[in-house]
Structure 1
Amino acid sequence: MTSLNHAPNNKPGYAASYMPTMTLAMAQKRAQMLADIRQFFATRQVLEVQTPLLSQAGNTDTFLQSVAAQVTYQDRPHTYYLHTSPEFAMKRVLASWRVPIYQICTVFRDNEIGSRHNIEFTMLEWYQLNYTLADLADELGQMLEVLYGYPVVMNHYRYVDAFMDFVGIHPLTASISALQAVAEDRGLLTFNSQNNLGIKKQNTDKEVRQEWLDLLFSHEVEPYLGHELPTLIIEYPPATAALAKTALDKDGNEIAKRFELYINGIEIANAYDELADGRALRVRFEQDNQLRRHHNLPSMPIDEHLLAACDDLPPCSGIALGLDRLLMVVTDAKNIQDVITFRSGQA
């Protein structure tokens, strides 16, 4: 028998502290979305894989903070890291098995809380062999059509063009002082100071340039993307390449071979034409760690297994997609807590 002291209160607006933040109806929509995604890949013979959440290596990206876990291995204490994405382990699998793969898993990013952020969230990541970014974009569009239930047209928008349309300055050729002047004119210098974004004098010109670009893009471009049509931003600045290849655009400027998907001003997915060069990636990881030290962040252990696997990685493109955010835009939810069971701090 239920105690009267613990009986659920069904009054409007009542929410007991133990209750999930999403409704049962939303949970059913989420379950259906996951089933539809798995069916989508099954019909394309893309293998579902599962890789470890914990790793001895961490993500060196300056602005992605890993969640550390203290574990005991062979009776000795070790620091492991919860993965920020399954990318490193999946590439090791891909280099060995050489078949298309995907994974749906929980990933972790420290100190990320907000209406669109949670420390732990659900990611869909997949890799296709011998796919160009255009091929991967087509497949992404096909998956969106399945989830939306109707045909989807995606807008392709060069980073340079979006930046010039909304900011009024060429991001790849403008001087650092010009970018700073625009940020000051838009009132972003005060924001930068208050939020400690860390554009430091001791950083290299390349680092400073990209930090101004990131500040301007996130505040003056991103909010306006993907409201009429899902929008792919393509041809990013080379400093954002991470694990992607670089190339020259039609104007002769170096760009990163990657795209991001935006819907309703929200970043949903991030795709790379994958760089299969262990030496080049080592240089990038070491540069990342140097930049982390500039920002008073700890250096992260480099994944030596990944570097070895990259030399055997077949030509491929890969994409990481935030499933919680996708469910938000599909269902018109306004807060990530509406599409997950419990948000960080309530578990």
Structure 2
Amino acid sequence: MSNYPAIDALAENGVSVWLDDLSRELLEGGDLKRLIAEKGVVGVTSNPTIFASALAKGDRYEEQVKGLVGAGADTERAVFEITTDDVRAACDMFAPLYESTGHLDGRVSLEVDPRLAHEYEKTIESARLLWQTVDRPNLMIKIPATVEGLPAIRDAIGDGISVNVTLIFSLERYRAVMEAFLEGLERAREKGLDLAEIQSVASFFVSRVDTEIDKRLTAIGTDEANALKGKAGIANARLAYQAYEEVFGTARWAALEDAGARAQRPLWASTGVKDPNYPDTMYVTELVASNTVNTMPGATLDAVADHGEITGDTVHGTYEEAAALLDRLDGLGISYDEVVDLLEVEGVEKFEKSWTELLATVTDELDRAKAQVEGN
């Protein structure tokens, strides 16, 4: 139980609340412990942008950076050490939740280098190295759902690595992600691995869909077009949940479940509202369904805790309406396939840019620490 009725209502409806933020300041300053205790946070996701911001703003990395300079570490090595240390510490902080939820939650996600998004071999190598280095059972490795990422997802699951599949925009790609998950579990079963210990979530991005489609609706400018603004992201996610129910309602899945496997949960990502005209909680309140995760930036979590209205399941019974909405967009000349393909390309580019910024930030910190050492 948290201190907030809306957060408790999400849990009661089968939604796990994860925080889309991680820094040493959160870890060591006590804020993350408070969020766990008071706001029902049961997991964390991280990304390069978050790490870069934490390094640039805080001073809690100074001693480690100095040590890395003394050890002769280059930027790539420093990034690896800093990020894996923070994630390991977060895994330890969430260990009690990991145990109390039967290993379902208490999860912390760490991303492979996004520059590898279109390289299968290097992605799976990176996933294995990160998994071994952090060495915590409640870790999840984030792998992007690119075409090249799909076999890496399959093989990571097959190795017993828990995976957070990221950057999913299209329903077709989501089905391919679930197929990779099932194939991975079947390989893990052949190896005799404990399927119950292999967890996965599929991160379906929401607000970015509205941002792109709203832009196109504005360009059309008719009353019909304007009436459809802010609805595509939620409709797309609801149809994703329909696909989830279909795939995890098959005899193939039942056989894996009988062997101890747990379903790959849909995770609603990009849930911070980009348009200030929209309710700041809508990507949470409108996507309430059992066995899901909602990973929220701090501002969205605060908004939900403060004034979120959770009315129960808001996904079941909406599939026909959601499909009709996408059909209406198509009728206006907005191509669903074109939009989701563009969003994936842009998503990878944004992740790569964030990684480059993280490298630059770490380089600056190393240079500063080196100058201090030499000055002394």
Please report the TM-score for the alignment, with normalisation by the length of structure 1: 0.29
Q: Which structure has the highest strand share of the two?
A: 1
Q: Which structure has the highest helix share of the two?
A: 2
Please report the TM-score for the alignment, with normalisation by the length of structure 2: 0.27
